[in-house]
Structure 1
Amino acid sequence: MPATASRRPAREVAVTTQAENQARMQAQTIEALLAFMAAPDADEAAFEAMALAVFAYQFAHNAPYRAFARQRGRTPLTVRAWRDIPAVPIDAFKELTLSCCPPEDAEAVFMTSGTTQGVRGRSYHATLAVWRRSMLDTFRRRVMRGRERIRMGTLFPDGASLPNSSLATYLDLARSACGTPDSRAFIGAAGLELEPLLSTLAEVEATGEPYMLLGASYAFVPLLDALAARGRRFRLPEGSLLLDTGGFKGQSREIAPDPFYDALSAAFGVPRSACLNMYGMTELSSQFYDEGNAVCPPVKSGPHWVRTRVVDPLTGADLPEGARGVLVHHDLAHFNSVSAILTEDAGELVPGGFRLFGRVDGEASRGCSLAVAEFLAAARG
């Protein structure tokens, strides 16, 4: 048999080589990221270097993002600072597949709730190892605060029920890694399991055992209503915490922040400083926390592998500290997609982090819509 007969076609060899190169770059990126995340004292130069490496990886393997970056004249050769890495408007995740790995190879796919016109954004994770490290390291530092474990109750369906929910995965991981064995979820197929939850709250109130109740913001509303209807209040032991996230999303009535945290404090007998809010999104792999809601809005901040900017939505220009604009997050843990996200959230930079003021409106909203249109036009050629 001639030697050439056993050779693979050139195109097959090229595809194989490309896949091998991508796999090698992915492994190197993950290894470098995990090492950087394990170094809390890393300086700004180290963040800059890691951000540029993640951008180079995403530019090489995320075709829609590469087209957009090129259209803006941003390539690994021209970008020299993390602030210059182009940010993708968050609504683009509803229109395009923004993934470095083939979607079918992703270990997990998280989807948004799809409350806007029923369209769900998708976030692809080649591996959950980085996502889990990001979540747990920050949760232990910002929420557990030196405690190894605490008894927990969660107000959200578990991951088996909602495998594409980043929040379900987040709460499952918090409960399994940081909760005691008697921790459990109190929302099942039939909804809120009120009686078991009330029994648990009464038990911890009597024993003096600190307790943590976590869940979607809207899931606390029917619980507050049920307690009010029964004339029931608790005084949870010192060291107990409440953590809400995600807002109300049309799933319950809206409650403004001050009345909401007043109601939580009164119903569960904890100070508002023990009522934490986690700010996160499906399109990121890291979360932001405050130190409690004694004053609203509180200052939020993320881990050392995240940076936040505030920009003018019409020009994209950075705004100074204290000026209100649209938040842009640079999350290096979101390596398989795009690390720089232009949100639709209004905020301002302050010492120690940023303040969040809810969704943008008016001219800011128009600027975000224009950014989406520009991205889609560039990414689709």
Structure 2
Amino acid sequence: MQAKIFNIQSQEDFNKTALAIFKHQFKNNKVYRSFCDLLYKHPSEINQVKDIPFLPIQFFKSRKVLSSLDEIDEVFTSSGTTGSVTSKHFVTDINIYKQSYFKGFEHFYGNIEDYAVLALLPNYLERKGSSLVFMVDDLIRKSKNIESGFYLNNLDELAKKLIELDKKEQKVLLIGVSFALLDLIEKQQFNLKNTIIMETGGMKGRRKEIIREELHTILKNGFSVDKIHSEYGMTELLSQAYSKGNGVFETPPWMQILIRDTEDALTINTTEKNGGINVIDLANYNSCSFIATQDLGKTYINGTFEIVGRFDNSDIRGCNLMVL
């Protein structure tokens, strides 16, 4: 199945693979099967991808969402405020994740060996189980560049390194959490010509949340770059979407976004209408590939999408079928 997932060439390929994975997960994933049964949804009645049930993401906080009996390779956990329940993603084949993020990066940015990868992810480094740190750590190794590496609180050292590498015309990817990138430009004004700035979102309680347009304007001015790139991923997924500017994201061929109606979680909206983000991540073969997130967004006719916010009281509004 891996070969099919990572060799999707058309919408027809995607649809066939998605329907096959739905049947597999209905049969082998107890949590997902119970959810589908509550909705009276059975594979024999589902011929279109939009009719596949999407599991509310909250289930990853209370259940082991697995479609495999294999041993667990890794457990990824979400960040959360003190005392909050975090999501757990049990991964039985870590090589699928590695393939997904490596092929995904290559799809959008080319050969990782062309870059020095600098990572400013303090809140993720300060806890265990981050899928983002796992991915970036591997990309740092795969870059085979001695300048690549993680930075925690040593912002002066990072600023010096960024300026030095940019002057050498080395292509650099700086991937960082929003609050840390803001901390960096408060220390140093940059004028970067060969560096991609990629934010992974989130103030994580360190700063006041601001809208994306405002954040990107501040970062563009601080780094003197034309665009701010973004990564959209989450603990419960094994694939990432990327934006090369203006907050418009693209997915790799094995991942797609559908928008559900905010009043009726089982109805899929047409393009350019705001609603809840449903993610199809075919790399999640051993878990659940069909997830209803707590994010709000909209899709465009070319398959790109934007994030416009989050559900209020999302723990209770996402779905009324949480009592499993």
Could you say whether these structures have the same fold, taking a TM-score greater than 0.5 normalized by the shorter chain as the test?
yes
**SS of structure 2 residue aligned to 1:348:** strand
Give a deviation string over 1:301-325, Cα, whole Å, max 9, x none.
2111112111113212111112111
The partner residue of 2:275 within 325, 340, 347 is 325
- Are 1:220 and 2:181 matched, yes or no? yes
**SS of structure 2 residue aligned to 1:113:** coil
**SS of structure 2 residue aligned to 1:355:** strand
Count the aligned residue pairs. Answer: 322
- Are 1:254 and 2:209 matched, yes or no? yes
| Match runs of 1:167-182 below 5 Å | 167-178=132-143, 180-182=145-147
1:131–1:285 Cα contact (<8 Å) kept: yes
| Match runs of 1:317-356 below 5 Å | 317-352=267-302, 353-356=304-307
- Give, in whole Å, the separation in 1 of the partners of 2:111 and 2:74: 30
Match of 1:3 in 2: none
Match of 1:357 in 2: 308
Give a deviation string over 1:47-78, Cα, whole Å, max 9, x none.
22211221122122211211111122222322
Match of 2:29 in 1: 62
The letter of the residue matching 2:289 is S
Give a deviation string over 1:80-133, Cα, whole Å, max 9, x none.
222221111111211222112358x21011111123851101111111111111
- Give, in whole Å, the separation in 1 of the partners of 2:116 and 2:123: 17
| Match runs of 1:76-225 below 5 Å | 76-102=43-69, 105-115=71-81, 118-142=84-108, 144-145=109-110, 148-156=113-121, 162-178=127-143, 180-187=145-152, 192-225=153-186
Range with greater deviation from structure 2 (144-153 or 66-75): 144-153
The letter of the residue matching 2:307 is L
1:160/1:247 CA distance change after superposition, 3 Å:
closer
> Is the helix fraction higher in 1 or 2?
1
Q: Which runs of 5+ in 1 are unaligned?
A: 1-31
The partner residue of 1:245 within 188, 194, 200 is 200
Match of 2:221 in 1: 266
2:122–2:180 Cα contact (<8 Å) kept: no
1:223/1:253 CA distance change after superposition, 3 Å:
farther
The letter of the residue matching 2:205 is G
- Give, in whole Å, the separation in 2 of the partners of 1:280 and 1:176: 20
1:290/1:252 CA distance change after superposition, 3 Å:
same
Q: Displacement of 1:165 after TM fit?
A: 0.5
The letter of the residue matching 1:48 is N
**SS of structure 2 residue aligned to 1:114:** coil
1:277–1:292 Cα contact (<8 Å) kept: yes
2:61–2:88 Cα contact (<8 Å) kept: yes
- Give, in whole Å, the separation in 2 of the partners of 1:313 and 1:338: 22
Match of 1:25 in 2: none
The partner residue of 1:74 within 38, 41, 55 is 41
**SS of structure 1 residue aligned to 2:272:** coil
Q: Which runs of 5+ in 2 are unaligned?
A: none
Range with greater deviation from structure 2 (48-57 or 254-263): 254-263
2:231–2:241 Cα contact (<8 Å) kept: yes
The partner residue of 1:306 within 235, 240, 255 is 255
Q: Displacement of 1:373 after TM fit?
A: 3.9
The letter of the residue matching 2:73 is E
| Match runs of 1:284-295 below 5 Å | 284-293=237-246
1:258/1:71 CA distance change after superposition, 3 Å:
closer
2:166–2:195 Cα contact (<8 Å) kept: no
- Give, in whole Å, the separation in 1 of the partners of 2:296 and 2:63: 24
1:235/1:98 CA distance change after superposition, 3 Å:
same
- Are 1:276 and 2:276 matched, yes or no? no
1:65/1:178 CA distance change after superposition, 3 Å:
same
1:322–1:348 Cα contact (<8 Å) kept: yes
- Give, in whole Å, the separation in 1 of the partners of 2:283 and 2:38: 25
- Give, in whole Å, the separation in 2 of the partners of 1:357 and 1:84: 24
| Root-mean-square deviation over aligned CA pairs | 2.3
2:200–2:231 Cα contact (<8 Å) kept: yes
- Give, in whole Å, the separation in 2 of the partners of 1:245 and 1:75: 37
TM-score (norm: length of structure 2): 0.91
- Give, in whole Å, the separation in 2 of the partners of 1:332 and 1:172: 23
Determine what percentage of the aligned residue pairs are the same residue. 27
1:172/1:248 CA distance change after superposition, 3 Å:
same
